[in-house]
Amino acid sequence: MKLKLGRALKEIEGNRFFKVLEDGDLVKISYRFNAPSVFDTPVKRELRGITFSRKTEEVVSRPFHKFFNVGEHEETEEEKLSNREFIAREKLDGTMLHPVLINGEVKLLTQKAFSNPQTEKGEEILSKNEKLYRAVKELLQRGYTPVFELISPEFQLVIPYDREELILTELRENRTGKYLLEERENELKELGFKTPPKFTGKLHHLKRKIEDAEMVEGYVLKDFSVKEPFPLFVKLKSPWYHKHHYTFTYLHNIPDHKLFNLFLQGKSDDIFSAVLNRELRQKKRERLEKMISLYRTLIETAEKLSAFYGKPEFETRLKEEIERIKRKHSRDFSQLNIREDYIKEAARIAKKRGRFENFLGTKLYTMLKVGEVNLNSNLTERG
């Protein structure tokens, strides 16, 4: 599909699901929200980081068009795919990078940014490989976009790669959008490009192959018998990846009160053990440990105050203890509005040898949920 900037901008005029980014002469268009209904025309499916020259309106960097998982879209319903013969490439769990020439130098872009830590890492890797850099530059000068996946321990998502590499996942012609990796792979390898493992087969065969695979995100399936507006590309994720990506996403997005509730239910260790991303585990464990530390202080305070419950000095000691809690934990919490009535009731239950720990756990969960108690957002950065 031939595409110029004016047509792309007209396609998304007034559409809040897409955004336009500009940097000098470069104009990048990408989506804000990832849902099949957003990509209701072929042009919109191309707007996944595609980059144009403002001056010429021509495409200068063309990553993948938007394609879908098996069963996610009308065109990827399993019964429609079952008789097709696919080329399958291993899908890598990294960051897609695509290059552009700026003042004669190769710069890498992501789908939604002109520069970020991932592009800087990719450029660092490229700068150390003169042969590959020259090959990328020559392809760009000839009107092609080599599309890479950056894998690096520094930017781990789910799979813990032990190396830093740029893997060529496709080669596209900027003018037409034609995909060229499969027909030019040998030539590209001679130029220094590394490509993902390749298989062929029908969907049922490829599903069986990936069924018990571990440390693999999945496959990108390609059928070039479909010509317009794109060849048929389909994502097939491994059951292993589905499981670990779910726990990764769950832990990444979980609010503090729900994380603390997992601890109260005895389930936090199960979640942490299923997430392979060490940095995320460390960050969330630190936040949980700060909440557990506050919880222990509340338990100790209720036990201490129970000896004074019902006595004249109780109210004074209660206020003193709450101030002590705030002094002890203020470094880790931006908000510490400890409810006096909760501590008072916990002291009463403790005096009667009841299950005051459970009561305090529930009440700390409530205070976290409603924002009376808040952890510092920069907790991990401060160390």
When pLDDT is cut at 50, 70 and 90, the band that residue 383 belongs to is very low
Which among 61, 81, 99 is the end of a domain?
A: 61
307/192 same-domain check: no
98/208 same-domain check: yes
What's the confidence (pLDDT) of residue 379? 66
340/217 same-domain check: no
Three-class DSSP category at 120:
helix
Share of the chain above pLDDT 90, in %: 86
What's the confidence (pLDDT) of residue 50? 98
What's the confidence (pLDDT) of residue 382? 43
Q: Which residue has the higher pLDDT, 210 or 379?
A: 210
41/123 same-domain check: no
Which among 237, 263, 280 is the end of a domain?
A: 237
50/95 same-domain check: no
Q: Total domain count for the chain?
A: 3
Beta-bridge partner residues of 368: none
Q: By residue range, what is the domain housing residue 186?
A: 67-237
Average pLDDT, integer, range 352-368: 94
CA atoms of 116 and 139, how far apart (whole Å): 23
Which among 61, 77, 104 is the end of a domain?
A: 61
43/79 same-domain check: no
Please say if the pLDDT value at position 228 is more than 80: yes
258/372 same-domain check: yes
92/188 same-domain check: yes
What's the confidence (pLDDT) of residue 381? 42
268/169 same-domain check: no
Tell me the per-residue pLDDT of 53-86, one tens digit each, with 9 for 90 and over: 999 999 999 999 999 999 988 899 999 999 999 9
What's the confidence (pLDDT) of residue 10? 97
Residue 249 lies in a domain: no
Please say if the pLDDT value at position 173 is more than 90: yes
217/360 same-domain check: no
Separation in Å, CA 199 to CA 93, 144, 165, 318, 347: 18, 25, 21, 69, 66
Please say if the pLDDT value at position 150 is more than 60: yes
Lowest average pLDDT, out of 71-75, 261-265, 268-272, goes to 268-272
Q: Which residue has the higher pLDDT, 180 or 383?
A: 180
3/101 same-domain check: no
What's the confidence (pLDDT) of residue 278? 87
Greatest extent of the chain over all pairs of C-alpha atoms, in Å: 88
Q: Check if the beta carbon of residue 314 is closer than 8 Å to that of residue 343.
A: no
Q: Give 190: exposed, middle or buried? Use CB within 10 Å, 0-12, 13-18, 19+.
A: exposed
Please say if the pLDDT value at position 1 is more than 90: yes
pTM above 0.85, yes or no: no
Torsion sign, CA atoms 369, 370, 376, 378:
positive
108/168 same-domain check: yes
What's the confidence (pLDDT) of residue 266? 84
